[in-house]
Amino acid sequence: MIARINHVAMLTLIRREMVRSIKIINQVIWPPIITTLLYVFVFGMALGSRIKQVQGVSYSEFLIPGLIMLQVIDSSYGECSSSVFQGRFMNSIQEMLIAPMSAGEIVFGYVLGSLVRALVIANIIMVLGVIFVHTLPRDWVLYFGVMMLVAVLFSALGVIFGLLAEKFDHIAVLTTFAITPLVFVGGVFTSAQLLPPFLRNFELFNPMFYTIDAFRYSYTGQSYLPLWLSLTVIGGLACVSLGTALRMAAVGYKLRT
Amino acid sequence: MVKRYGDFTAVDDVSLRVEAGDFFGFLGPNGAGKTTTISAIVGLARITSGSIEVFGYDNVTQWREARRFIGLAPQEYNFDRYLSIRDVLIFQAGYYGLAPRLVRERADELLEQFGLQRHAKLEYTKLSGGMKRRLTLARALVHDPKILILDEPTAGVDVELRLELWALLRRLNAEGMTIFLTTHYLEEAEALCRNIGIIRAGRLVALEPTRDLLARAGRGLQDIFLELTRA
């Protein structure tokens, strides 16, 4: 009798993703942490002395949740897109394709593996926030809930772009032209309240704004948008992204001929 | 089965049955449709029409059951470059649903059997060509399949290793393993296979016991192969 879900295979893929992250730790774990520390010291100290309070907290405290979200988005997309693309490029993904693994098990394996990496990075930054900025999340359920939802959204996008890409260069397209600019203008460094009105309206079309605004609520207890709206947008986008990744894997898009 | 890529028919109405326990050779020139056929059997290619059964299980509707029976040793090396060779075996077994604690011993046995135990902690990129070929076979066997599909298993290996692999394949077959072999070395097919199928331009042009094929023409397999594939 064959199990309907191959849990062992999915756990194996999650473990494989963790092994991969450890093998390339200098490329995927330390850089986001060092970059975050630099942001905290350079921006937090340089600008923090001039900006007294943002959303009722010091600028450095305001900065930490935005920086965590920045790295969660970056690492979850990066992990899945490069791992899926490399698997296709080296054909090693065939090890899974010939095994009794469903498309869902493969996609969830990649997404959850990437989620683990994002959680590790995020929580190291959270601890650094405690040490250097003396700030801690107030709402842990929201902290982990938003983090996981966002990681799932961008991991699934990573799977999609890992499947679409024809060369390594292609997986950087979304990062360079969408993710990075939208994250930077999406409220990592500034509150929407400080922006001119026309830019504030623009932010409503920026999905990153919803992720950062909702996540910051777990630290400051305040948000620019109603929390339910941000959670609905993030949840909706995560469902669309995950659904698309599952569909592409199920039809064997660029996986099976 | 039929497999088309757009207007191009890679496999054209090929129908064959490999009995359990057989040592079957699937021969043909480059581009004849051998690898496409193998890809269809293991599920890497979706057939356009027809059906494939593996030990009674349809490989489309009952793919989980069908795939569990198959071990594939592909022509190209496609190992996971982030894993040690011991982990290549353990993780592959994991994808087949076997938990690591259950397969560590099996992985070590295979490494020992294929003379790779000294290199267990290395990544595959550090291995010689012959060792990579052995690892390909070890990986195909790690989940204890009932049919072993070999795509050019001795390509690029020296004579000594080739004879060693032949002995291993004979032993596996004697123990009941069904073997489906593609090779360009006709002497290999002649020496190992009980039954042979020859494919040309996607069509099966011969399917019979090796002995009958050789007796029919009274010549070597090479002459028969050339006659059938040049026509």
A101 touches chain B (CB under 8 A): yes
Q: What is the rounded CA–CA span in Å between residue A82 and residue B43?
A: 24
Total CB pairs under 8 A between chain A and B = 84
Q: A20 CB near a chain B CB, below 8 Å?
A: yes
- pLDDT tens-digit series, residues A138-156: 999 999 999 999 999 999 9
Based on its alpha-carbon atoms, the radius of gyration of chain A, rounded to whole angstroms, reads 19
The continuous run of DSSP H or E covering B71 comes out as: strand B70-73
pLDDT range class, residue A1, cuts 50, 70, 90: very low
Model pLDDT, residue B221:
78
Distance, CA of A228 to CA of A220 (rounded, Å): 16
Q: How distant is the Cα of A251 from the closest Cα of chain B, in angstroms?
A: 10
Contact A257 B5 (CB under 8 A): yes
Of A65-74, A224-233, A239-248, B209-218, the range with the lowest mean pLDDT is B209-218
pLDDT given at position B211:
87
Between A201 and A101, name the one with better pLDDT: A101
Phi (first) and psi of residue A91, to 5 degrees: 65, 5
- Residues in chain B with CB shorter than 8 Å from the CB of A91 are 74, 76, 78
Rounded to the nearest angstrom, the minimum Cα separation between B87 and chain A is 9
- A5 in reach of chain B (CB within 8 A): no
State the ipTM, two decimals: 0.89
Secondary structure of residue A134 in the 3-state scheme: coil
- Residue B190 banded pLDDT, cuts 50, 70, 90: confident
Q: Say if residues A238 and A206 touch (Cβ distance below 8 Å).
A: no
**Which pLDDT does position A3 carry in this prediction?**
58
Give me chain B's average pLDDT, please.
Answer: 90
pLDDT (0 to 100) of residue A143: 96
Strands B23-27 and B8-11: unpaired
pTM (two decimals): 0.91
Write the pLDDT tens digit of every residue in B126-178.
998 888 999 999 999 999 999 999 998 888 788 888 898 899 999 999 999 99
Residues of chain B whose C-beta is under 8 A from some C-beta in A? 5, 39, 42-46, 63-65, 67-68, 70, 72, 74, 76, 78-83, 87, 91-92, 94-100, 139
Nearest CA in chain B to A102: B64
Whether residue A257 and residue B76 make contact (CB cut-off 8 A), yes or no, is no
Work out the angle at residue B55's Cα, subtended by the Cα atoms of residues B50 and B57, and round it to the nearest 5 degrees. Answer: 55
Provide the pLDDT for residue A192.
Answer: 77
CB B165 within 8 A of CB B154: yes
| Strand partners for B197 | B26, B207
Q: State how far the Cα of A219 lies from the Cα of A179, in Å rounded to an integer.
A: 23
Give which of A10, A82, A88, A98 to mutate to test B binding, by max B Cβ within 10 Å.
A98
Domain boundaries, chain A: 8-250
Which residues in chain A are closer than 8 Å to B99, comparing Cβ atoms?
Answer: 8
pLDDT of residue A139: 95
- For range A216-244, the mean pLDDT: 94
Tokens of B11: 């496999």
CB contact under 8 A, B97 and A15: no
Nearest neighbour of B91 by CB, restricted to A16, A100, A252: A16
How far apart (Å, rounded) are the C-alpha atoms in residues A43 and A49? 10
Any B CB within 8 A of A23 CB = yes
Residue A72 near chain B (CB below 8 Å): no
Mean pLDDT, chain A, whole residue set: 91
Amino acid letter, residue A74: D
User: What is the Cα–Cα distance from A64 to B59, expressed in whole angstroms?
Assistant: 52
CB–CB of A175/A77 below 8 Å? yes
A134 CB near a chain B CB, below 8 Å?
no
What integer pLDDT is reported at residue A74 of this predicted model? 93
Q: At CB < 8 A and 24+ separation, what contacts does A237-244 make? A: A237/A153, A237/A207, A238/A149, A238/A150, A238/A152, A238/A153, A238/A156, A241/A152, A241/A153, A241/A154, A241/A156, A241/A157, A241/A160, A242/A107, A242/A111, A242/A152, A242/A153, A242/A156, A244/A156, A244/A160
Indicate the helix (H) or strand (E) that contains B63: helix B63-68
